[in-house]
Amino acid sequence: MYSENFIKNYTLANLEKKIIELGYEKYRALQILNGIYVDRVQKFEQISTLPNTLKNILDDTFLINSIKLLKKRQSLDGSIKYLFQLNDGKSIEAVYMPWYDEHNGEIERITLCISTMAGCPVGCAFCATATLGLIRNLDTSEIIDQILFVENDLSIKISNIVFMGMGEPLLNYKNVINSIELLTLPENKLLSRKKITLSTVGITNKIKQLANSRSPVKLAISLHATTNGFREKIIPLAKSVKINDLMDSIEYYYRKTHLPITYEYIPFENFNDTFEDAKRLAKILKRVPSRVNLIPFNDISFTGVSGLSQTLKSSSKEKILEFGNQIKEFGGVVTIRDTFGTDIEAACGQLALKEG
């Protein structure tokens, strides 16, 4: 749902073209972006480098903000879930996650988990967003505004972005890649591409396309099973994306970008947490430089799910530790992830517009 009314839908090249069409010099586009992304103006009249005539045209032509806050909820662990309303009344969520230094207790980095869709079409059995289905893709402006809003709201600088909120980023490829281009444009002073992680269930042709783009970022592969049969049970889209094909695309991505790969894996009791799974997972991890994040399954019963989603049960903490050690024994690199925001339904897999 691309809207030409929102200025943040324009990359530098597209805005330069638009400004020329309006009868002004190309360099004015960079001045506009500087006002929006560096100075964080809320009105075009605040961009002092522009002539008044252009300010008036911009004011008549464009809107600066594409989302507004509906509600925010803070967790006991310091994370905050933001519920945003889009211009057409649809809603999305983003999650602020502060990471604390274990020695001095100070925040060492700040991660924002952002959405790329309202809802999601993939249908993963362990994800609350799947219960919404696909409502629509987000515009570039709606993706970026999640970041700018939280920074302005909390008066902080976000150090890392993860495309792990609502939606499958690679099924909204154009708007996601445009947002990455704007986020990593040096003049905008926002982020380097190595501070951005994109999570995907594995859209193989888009993984290769991203590898060949001007701004490839870190990839996190939502794997969750080591055999096609089990993966297809919990990720319906996996029926058309076999693990071997997925691995081929990941190897291509690494050869092109030299960025290490992260795998995301939720161990489910008596489903994908066996000794053989650990052995197969370690083999996958050694195909290119990679690590696996073992993530506890977060309850999504608040959505009223049924079927397999209702019967999936998280492996115990002890079993997850054992599973992780088995992977390490076979030569894999493992991290057991902390979970943010479970008390406010903001943890991994829990975003489903629940207001509490």
- pLDDT(191) > 80: yes
- Provide the whole-model pTM: 0.92
Report yes or no: 327 and 334 within 8 Å, Cβ to Cβ. yes
106 is catalytic: no
- pLDDT(170) > 70: yes
- Same topology between domain 7-61 and domain 67-344: no
Q: Give me the catalytic one of 16, 93, 142, 264.
A: 93
pLDDT confidence of residue 103:
80
Domain ranges within the chain, ordered by starting residue: 7-61, 67-344
- pLDDT(302) > 80: no
User: What percent of the chain is predicted at pLDDT more than 70?
Assistant: 91
pLDDT confidence of residue 1:
41
Report yes or no: 313 and 269 within 8 Å, Cβ to Cβ. yes
Q: For residue 128, which phi and psi values (nearest 5 degrees)? A: -65, -35
Mean pLDDT of the region 229-254: 96
pLDDT in tens, 113-124: 999 999 999 999
- pLDDT(149) > 50: yes
Range of weakest confidence among 113-117, 177-181, 316-320, 348-352: 348-352
Top-level class of domain 67-344: alpha beta
In angstroms, the Cα distances linking 33 to 43, 64, 295, 317, 339 are: 13, 11, 38, 47, 36
The CATH classification number of 7-61 equals: 1.10.150.530
| Mean pLDDT value across the chain | 92
- pLDDT(340) > 80: no
- pLDDT(187) > 60: yes
Q: Give me the catalytic one of 276, 318, 348, 355.
A: 348
187 is catalytic: no
Report yes or no: 162 and 99 within 8 Å, Cβ to Cβ. no
Confidence class for position 73, pLDDT limits 50, 70, 90:
very high
pLDDT confidence of residue 244:
96
